[in-house]
Amino acid sequence: MDLIQRSRRLRTTPVLRKMVRETRMDASSLIYPMFVKEGKGIKEEIPTMPGQFRYSVDELPKALEEVAAAGVPSVMLFGIPDHKDACGSNAWAEDGIVQKALRKAKEAVPELYYIADTCMCEYTSHGHCGILDGQYVDNDKTLEHLAKIALSQVQAGADMIAPSDMMDGRIKAIRTMLDQNGHVTVPIMSYAAKYASAFYGPFRDAAGSAPSFGDRKSYQMDYHNRKEALKEIHQDIEEGADIIMVKPALSYLDIIREAADVIDRPIAAYSVSGEYAMIKAAAKAGYMDEDSIICETATSIYRAGTDILLTYYAKEIARFIQEGRIG
């Protein structure tokens, strides 16, 4: 055969394949989500998320040390309070569960970077992400509460704030509150394009955050929409977001790619609980090789344009990068 173009030339050896690789990954871009709850001596596995746990504050340092030893530099904390009320007051309390966890974490494992999920759904008795007016989530009344939550989390030690509520104007409200209180250097990672997704099911079990009525479709995005995601992203950037996030990841790679093409901010993607649970279930059934699927799916998310990946497989991905299987 008289072939001039032979693409296979660059695939002949592992060294060469890695040399010409287009998508490169580094463990420094990984964030590991973790759940912390009230109580003592608690490390309980989450039934819908095998291998993931809820920790009490006293058990958290051991888990954080494992994260650091795995080479994952950052964690995001989600709180599970004992007390819930209509306004989610435990979310901004000085002795709130995330606030206590942050203080303990910063003392015990200071080398990690701590991100606080800023929302109300885990703390409200109704499970919605804001203040209710009847059965409607009142956007503007919710903003002042979100700003208080963000400030309390930073005062407790959060290095970054990540608002996940999807209220209009929340980034501006939080940025204003932080700046007015001297926290001008604390960055905001906005859940900018957060879709109303069935992939969140296991998380709601883990955090006890399912709404007691209705759904969240009046504030989370319709998954039919693409252009709306870019509108939301641009609005959050205008309001002061330093990093934008697309959530979920695997079913929204097109959104990640479009955002990467047009914005000048780092892009995060959250590989959510349902994505994790599907892989776990298929691997347990013997349908797929778990390690290979972890590598392939993570690479696809980075290939789409992601700079930062939040994933329950962060420790495994860091190991695979170190071993040279991906990255």
% of the chain beyond a pLDDT of 70: 99
Section 287-309 average pLDDT: 97
> pLDDT band at residue 58, thresholds of 50, 70 and 90?
very high
Coil, helix or strand for 23?
Answer: coil
Asked if the model's pLDDT at residue 214 lies above 80, the reply is: no
Q: Are 138 and 132 in contact (CB under 8 A)?
A: yes
Distance CA 223, CA 173 (A): 26
* 247 given a catalytic annotation: yes
pLDDT at 207: 64
In the numeric block, the tokens 């008289």 are attached to 2
Asked if the model's pLDDT at residue 276 lies above 90, the reply is: yes
pLDDT in tens, 174-192: 999 999 999 999 999 999 9
Asked if the model's pLDDT at residue 127 lies above 90, the reply is: no
* 227 given a catalytic annotation: no
pLDDT at 216: 81
Asked if the model's pLDDT at residue 250 lies above 70, the reply is: yes
> pLDDT band at residue 65, thresholds of 50, 70 and 90?
very high
Section 104-123 average pLDDT: 95
Point out the catalytic residue in the list 37, 84, 100, 247.
247
Section 148-153 average pLDDT: 98
Point out the catalytic residue in the list 84, 194, 280, 315.
194
Asked if the model's pLDDT at residue 158 lies above 80, the reply is: yes
Q: Which residues pair with 74 in a beta bridge?
A: 31, 113
Which of 3-7, 70-74, 175-179 is the least confident region?
3-7
Neighbouring C-alpha atoms within 13 Å toward the C-beta of 263: 29
Section 102-121 average pLDDT: 96
Section 28-41 average pLDDT: 97
Which of 13-27, 110-124, 198-212 is the least confident region?
198-212
Q: E strands within 136-266?
A: 136-138, 160-163, 189-194, 243-247
Distance CA 209, CA 273 (A): 13
pLDDT at 86: 86
> pLDDT band at residue 319, thresholds of 50, 70 and 90?
very high
Q: Which residues pair with 230 in a beta bridge?
A: none
Average pLDDT over the chain reads 94
Based on the number of CB atoms within 10 Å of its own CB, is 324 exposed (0-12), middle (13-18) or buried (19 or more)? exposed
pTM of the model: 0.94
pLDDT at 281: 97
